[in-house]
Chain A
Amino acid sequence: MYHFRAFHLTLLSSCLATLLLTAGCQHPASLPSTWGIPAYEVDGDLLSIPVILIADNQLHHLYGDPVWLRSGFTNQFVPVAIRPVQLDFYAPDILKWIIKSYGKNKQVIHLGDALNIACTVEFDQFKKIMSKSGKGWVMAPGNHDFNYFGNGHFALSQWEKACKTGDGQGKTMTKDLFVKAYLDVLSTQSTQHENFGFTNADHVDRHDWEAAPGDSSFVSGVWWNIDKESPWRSFIVQRLNLTLPQQASDSSGKKASVTAILLDTNQYEYRPRLIPFLSVRNSGLTGEFLDDQISVVEGLLKQKEPGDVIVIMGHHPYHTLSQYSKDTLARWRQDYGIQLYISAHTHTAQYFVRKSNDVNWLELNIGSTTDWPPELRTLTVSDASSGQAAFRMARIPLHVEWERTQLQNCLSDWEVKTDQEDFYINYRKLETPDPKKTQIKLMDTLLQSYKRLLKNVNSKTNNKKGWPDETSSDQEVLQKIQDALKDKQDLDMKLELLRELSIFESIRVVDNEDVQENFHLCQAIWASKYDLEGARAPNVDDAYILIPRR
């Protein structure tokens, strides 16, 4: 009895101490009893079109000049400053695979962090991949899309160096440029029936576009502000019409509209910086939206009619928003009956049950398509006979999908083992504060990876496309790579060759395109998985292990 009481006293005091320190010892919030968590799909008419939700692919420009944020030393403190170069190089193939496999006949909603450093060249690569989606795509901006390495608007000369390209075209993607570039893409897509009706040059002067009444475009309205003087104050809000065409009417003849509002949680009062201080944010840590954007969104919410379904989507999870933004979102939820908030940013798929104004509500958080375990979601809304809206938010963990297909194509010989120089996570051993030495090491690893690629995925002997300077066969390319690896100092030469190889790989004609696609995906899979584990170790879902026998 004494021990029992002592145990509880200890527990209580521990809890109180923790409570003081971290507001801990609270029970996780539960959903109200009027909400359901059925194990199966309930009956009821479909109200929405099906859409794909993805986020956080973080395409990375590999061939910029060295910068101090990407030194081995910095990476010891900022664990995501560097990823395996194989992941940076091959992760776009995961995105391509997703778009090919799931984006053929559904609109794709990307919840931000398409880019990593925030370079125009990253956006160019991203939009090229996304252009393959059959029904178009939209995105809510993420902190990595226009803030230097996702942190803020600072270190401009470093940022420019990181975005440098061989042809001098590489530029930093600041927020004002991003909104403009994104509007350019949006205006040429099939996501709206009517075109924007104005030329790209007008983006800065215009601030809104709305589909004509009765137009059933997927993108039904866009509101934005481009602030060249203070780019971080720029914003873009989009209204998506998810209502199912030919939807059945209810008993009163009304059809329920299903609307998504893409919020911009990366709009800041003050220039975001690496070190946050008072109201100066680090955009990786805190999301924010300002009164001009709030006014736009409230105007949209006021149009809601009883029975309509509204979902708000934004990059930052609720708990990472500034207090003012959190209060605003909570007020919208309460005043306008928003059913769901969908966010990204954490790279970990999860639901959050939130509590605001004494009401508990739900947030769906989407994982990354690049970091393990990569995933996407599909979203549909149906009418439940109980008067609820039945959301179907099916998670598609890619490693589970790949078990049936791609993973079985990953040949053991393709994997880089721990005793090899280019093992995926060897970058973690780098401790040098010198960004150039770090960059040389990373580029050497990538050159090694190219060697592996060319040995396993042969070019057709009659290939005429993309050969690097003074080469016309795989053997000559391999020799050129070997020569570049011998030189331990000349980073410019390595970068130049890697840029050539990048073009070569994207256009060369190979003996077997399936093998090429599989090799790319398998490298991304191994790099992503081992990067999560921090070692060449099996993931909890790995079923097959080979163990030596004596």
Chain B
Amino acid sequence: MPAWVFHKPNQELRFVVKFFADSEDAAAKVSWLVKRGETIKPGIELATLTWGDGRKKVLKASRGCEGEIAVLNRRIKYENLDKYPSQWALRIRDSV
């Protein structure tokens, strides 16, 4: 199961609640590897997720996530990633 998926109507990556709810450890930090204004496409490494036990997981841009980064979420409520509603992670600038 992916940690996030791209939500096309809102042009944003959203964390997947079940991914975090099913995990035995707590998500502790998301460190961004990209900056606002950068252009991204699927497969690009976007962030590192650090778990409460120190393990790390690289998070990549998922299918459909393509364009210029409009904003990154730097106020993620990690303690609620395993709870609904899901939180947004990154928004792509609307091309319209």
Contact = CB atoms under 8 A, between A and B. Distances in A.
Interface of A: 39-41, 43-46, 49-50, 52, 101-102, 105-106, 244-247, 378, 380, 382, 394, 396, 401, 404
A307 B26 CA distance: 26
Most buried by A among B29, B31, B53, B77: B29
A49 B77 CA distance: 15
Given A378-B78, A378-B79, A245 B28 contact: no
B24 A43 contact: no
Contact of A102 (B31, B50, B79): B79
Most buried by A among B26, B78, B83: B26
Contacts of A101: 83
A380 B31 CA distance: 14
B54 A50 contact: no
A244 B53 CA distance: 6
A44 B28 CA distance: 12
B52 A105 contact: yes
A52 B28 CA distance: 12
9 contacts: A41-B29, A41-B76, A46-B29, A49-B28, A50-B79, A106-B79, A378-B79, A382-B29, A401-B80
Contacts of A382: 29
B75 A50 contact: no
B84 A105 contact: no
A268 B55 CA distance: 44
Contacts of B52: 49-50, 105-106
In the A-B complex, the 10 residue pairs with the smallest Cβ-Cβ separation, listed nearest first, are: A246-B54, A40-B74, A105-B26, A245-B54, A46-B29, A50-B28, A244-B54, A46-B50, A41-B74, A378-B79
Contacts of A41: 29, 74-76
Interface string B18-35: 000001111011011000
A62 B54 CA distance: 44
Given A46-B29, A101-B83, A246-B55, 14 more contacts: A41-B75, A41-B76, A43-B31, A45-B31, A46-B54, A50-B52, A50-B79, A106-B26, A106-B79, A246-B54, A378-B79, A380-B28, A394-B79, A401-B80
Contacts of B53: 49, 244-246
Contact of A105 (B25, B50, B76, B80): B25
A404 B85 contact: yes
Most buried by B among A39, A40, A52: A40
A26 B54 CA distance: 45
B32 to A, nearest CB: 7
Contact of A43 (B32, B56, B76, B83): B32
